[in-house]
Chain A
Amino acid sequence: MTESVVNSDGQGGDATRRDFIHIAAGAAAAGAGVTIAWPLINQMNPAADTLALSVIDFDLSKVQEGQQVVTKWQGKPVFVRYRTPAEIEAARETPMSALKDPQADADRVKEGREQYLVLVGSCTHLGCVPTFGTGDYGGWFCPCHGSHYDTSGRIRKGPAPTNLVVPNYEYVSDTAVRIG
């Protein structure tokens, strides 16, 4: 309120008690507005039961060599691929210089279990689900905008900026992984 700091003679003056009341009331109203707005905004964040679905167990014995099984984790597809020795070899022999997002195959699998590749099945371009075993590099091919991934899930050609994401997972037994 600009007029509240104006004296009766129309000139600017020191802050009055009325200014204090105005500012205090305005501050209280603003604070109340924020506290009311917060629960209304926060309710759109993931609910407790949604967050509780953030971990899944997967039985690796379902996957045969040369195949992949798609499971669902946090609403998105997760590829679990049982790679053939030839596919592993192809992934290992690819030079770093050929990669758009350089990362060694060994860094994308667990040591001693190189045959199992676990990936989030969302193309890193705009989120489509790449198709298995197609594309120029024998890995995946995204039908939306033509991204080619190799047998390690790394981007080789097309618009996707990064490799397919390897989620956090661990082996809970020889045949089961816990993703998340």
Chain B
Amino acid sequence: MSEHQSTYVPRTAFERWMDTRLPIIRFGADYMSLPTPKNLNYWYTFGAILTICLMVQIITGVVLAMHYVPNTEMAFASVERIMRDVNGGWLIRYVHSNGASMFFIAVYIHMLRGLYYGSYKAPREMIWIVGCVIFFLLIATAFLGYVLPWGQMSFHGAVVITNLIGSIPVIGGSILTWLQGGPAIDNATLNRFFSLHYLLPFVIFGCVVLHVWALHTAGQNNPVGILIPKDRVAKDTVPFHPYYTVKDGFALILFLIMFAAFVFFMPNALGHADNSIPANPLVTPAHIVPEWYLLPFYAMFGSIAVLFILPWLDTSRVRSMRYRPTMRVFFYIFVVNAFVLGLCGAMLPDAPVIGEFKTFMLIDGDLNSYLWLGRLATLYYFAFFLVILPMVGLRETPLPIPQSISEPVLGGPAAMPAGAPAQPETRG
């Protein structure tokens, strides 16, 4: 928290010497003793899990770059060489490729947790916005990385996504040529994609530093969603270490077990078989889909922008949806809707959703098709942010909000005075 006083006392002569020159030990000690709300549940462990995910991707990625060749003639063969000849190369590559999926699983849970508990609301808007920047960079990095093996999916995925940029009126064509370094995806494109794929994780790392800095300045949110009153800090917080290092550590072990299950037992379950065919610019795979983690956005490109202004779309001053029963229902629908969007992204647009029958043509497609399911799900996605969040916040009656974290557990004076939910606390 911003008022957190340093409690570090240098014990040895070396620590005292360091403390007046480079107080890095003090920094680490303060980080570990940070007062943290004592009611954080397991949804709050994904921040630590994501830190590990980033480290895993960077370390395995640096290692893979020692063997990978960013050249259209050799890229595919060099990846196969990693799989067959490099010592432990198969393991390192499967950790890296499945690591991208694990990263996105964790990041989606992390974001939905923030959405549910209102972690984007004042005074934490910058945590959320930096988080959105990280998410955007993550998508870009994952896309660039998927191109590198130079398989059929890699190549044609790159074709489709870069052509999306090319569809911008007037200037699109020039930007596309600039981006590709030529009239089509080719060696120049592969080289720059490799360079950027190596660069962006370090940009992400820098953003993570900002993300955590903002978190430590504004203070952790918690499942109850209230700001901890100053006189309650001693009672309602615990030091980050050992309480949350151990809790995060336990969650991390469970997460890594799932990670390992994918790497060792079904390493290609989340990939696509067509990417085992070397890239051929003359033939597009019959059914081209992006990696699963981008499927919800494939169905409606450009929906990330709305996330950036989320803190100002939500009109409710109650953070946690634990006390917003109406909004909670819409949230659950939103989660289901996200899966529906993912499904739509994976399906052929004209395929029927239920059974094999036709209903009736609506404008340009049968109503019983993934085309229309995708459109309706997209509508809900945007409506959730642009209509439901602002409207419900103004109209709903939240449940009574406890005045402290301990109160719901220990009993005590029941909730807030009447009318209080509109102003549960002062902003900032």
Chain A residues within 8 Å of B, Cβ to Cβ: 39-40, 42-45, 47-50
Contact of B85 with A42 in the complex, beta carbons under 8 Å = no
With a cutoff of 8 Å between Cβ atoms, the chain B residues found around residue A49 in the complex are: 81, 84-85
B49 contacts partner chain A, Cβ-Cβ < 8 Å: no
With a cutoff of 8 Å between Cβ atoms, the chain B residues found around residue A39 in the complex are: 87-88, 91-92
Question: Taking the nearest CB of chain A, how far is it from the CB of B247, in angstroms?
Answer: 14
Contact of B81 with A43 in the complex, beta carbons under 8 Å = no
Contact of A44 with B66 in the complex, beta carbons under 8 Å = yes
B132 contacts partner chain A, Cβ-Cβ < 8 Å: no
Chain B's interface: helix, strand, loop or mixed, by majority?
Answer: helix
Interface size grouping (class) on chain B: 10 to 19
24 of the cross-chain contacts (CB-CB < 8 Å) are A39-B92, A40-B60, A40-B63, A40-B88, A40-B92, A42-B87, A42-B88, A43-B63, A43-B87, A43-B88, A43-B89, A43-B92, A44-B66, A45-B87, A47-B67, A47-B81, A47-B86, A47-B87, A48-B84, A48-B85, A48-B86, A49-B81, A49-B85, A50-B85
B59 contacts partner chain A, Cβ-Cβ < 8 Å: yes
Contact of B59 with A43 in the complex, beta carbons under 8 Å = no
Q: In the complex, A50 Cα to B89 Cα: how many Å?
A: 14
With a cutoff of 8 Å between Cβ atoms, the chain A residues found around residue B84 in the complex are: 48-49
Beta-carbon nearest neighbor of A29 in chain B:
B249
Q: In the complex, A48 Cα to B81 Cα: how many Å?
A: 9
With a cutoff of 8 Å between Cβ atoms, the chain B residues found around residue A44 in the complex are: 66
Q: In the complex, A45 Cα to B89 Cα: how many Å?
A: 11
With a cutoff of 8 Å between Cβ atoms, the chain A residues found around residue B88 in the complex are: 39-40, 42-43
Contact with A along B58-96 (1 / 0, CB 8 A): 011001001100000000000001001111110110000
Name which of A43, A47, A49, A50 has the most chain B CB atoms within 10 A of its CB.
A43
Beta-carbon nearest neighbor of B81 in chain A:
A49
Q: In the complex, A50 Cα to B66 Cα: how many Å?
A: 14
Contact of B66 with A43 in the complex, beta carbons under 8 Å = yes
Contact of A47 with B92 in the complex, beta carbons under 8 Å = no
With a cutoff of 8 Å between Cβ atoms, the chain A residues found around residue B60 in the complex are: 40
Question: Taking the nearest CB of chain A, how far is it from the CB of B55, in angstroms?
Answer: 11
With A40-B92, A47-B87, A48-B84 given, name 8 new contacts (CB 8 A): A39-B92, A42-B88, A43-B67, A43-B92, A44-B66, A45-B87, A47-B67, A49-B85
With a cutoff of 8 Å between Cβ atoms, the chain A residues found around residue B66 in the complex are: 43-44
With a cutoff of 8 Å between Cβ atoms, the chain B residues found around residue A42 in the complex are: 87-88
With a cutoff of 8 Å between Cβ atoms, the chain A residues found around residue B63 in the complex are: 40, 43
Contact of A47 with B89 in the complex, beta carbons under 8 Å = yes
Beta-carbon nearest neighbor of A37 in chain B:
B59
Q: In the complex, A44 Cα to B66 Cα: how many Å?
A: 8
* Residues of B348-368 contacting chain A, CB below 8 A: none
Q: In the complex, A47 Cα to B78 Cα: how many Å?
A: 12
Question: Taking the nearest CB of chain A, how far is it from the CB of B15, in angstroms?
Answer: 15
Q: In the complex, A162 Cα to B353 Cα: how many Å?
A: 78
With a cutoff of 8 Å between Cβ atoms, the chain A residues found around residue B81 in the complex are: 47, 49
Q: In the complex, A127 Cα to B242 Cα: how many Å?
A: 54
Name which of A39, A48, A49 has the most chain B CB atoms within 10 A of its CB.
A39
With a cutoff of 8 Å between Cβ atoms, the chain B residues found around residue A40 in the complex are: 59-60, 63, 88, 92
Beta-carbon nearest neighbor of A28 in chain B:
B253
Question: Taking the nearest CB of chain B, how far is it from the CB of A61, in angstroms?
Answer: 33
Beta-carbon nearest neighbor of B59 in chain A:
A40
Q: In the complex, A32 Cα to B121 Cα: how many Å?
A: 39
Q: In the complex, A44 Cα to B67 Cα: how many Å?
A: 9
With a cutoff of 8 Å between Cβ atoms, the chain B residues found around residue A43 in the complex are: 63, 66-67, 86-89, 92
Q: In the complex, A169 Cα to B67 Cα: how many Å?
A: 31
Beta-carbon nearest neighbor of B64 in chain A:
A43
Q: In the complex, A48 Cα to B67 Cα: how many Å?
A: 13
With a cutoff of 8 Å between Cβ atoms, the chain B residues found around residue A45 in the complex are: 87
Name which of B66, B81, B88, B92 has the most chain A CB atoms within 10 A of its CB.
B88
Question: Taking the nearest CB of chain A, how far is it from the CB of B279, in angstroms?
Answer: 22
Q: In the complex, A40 Cα to B88 Cα: how many Å?
A: 8
Question: Taking the nearest CB of chain B, how far is it from the CB of A5, in angstroms?
Answer: 16
Q: In the complex, A42 Cα to B60 Cα: how many Å?
A: 13
The 10 closest A-B pairs by CB, nearest first: A39-B88, A48-B85, A47-B85, A49-B85, A47-B86, A42-B87, A43-B87, A43-B88, A45-B87, A39-B91
* Residues of B402-420 contacting chain A, CB below 8 A: none
With a cutoff of 8 Å between Cβ atoms, the chain A residues found around residue B85 in the complex are: 47-50
Q: In the complex, A39 Cα to B60 Cα: how many Å?
A: 10
With a cutoff of 8 Å between Cβ atoms, the chain A residues found around residue B89 in the complex are: 43, 47
Question: Taking the nearest CB of chain A, how far is it from the CB of B285, in angstroms?
Answer: 29
Question: Taking the nearest CB of chain A, how far is it from the CB of B416, in angstroms?
Answer: 41
Q: In the complex, A40 Cα to B60 Cα: how many Å?
A: 8
Contact with A along B270-282 (1 / 0, CB 8 A): 0000000000000
Question: Taking the nearest CB of chain B, how far is it from the CB of A31, in angstroms?
Answer: 13
Question: Taking the nearest CB of chain B, how far is it from the CB of A110, in angstroms?
Answer: 33
Beta-carbon nearest neighbor of B62 in chain A:
A40
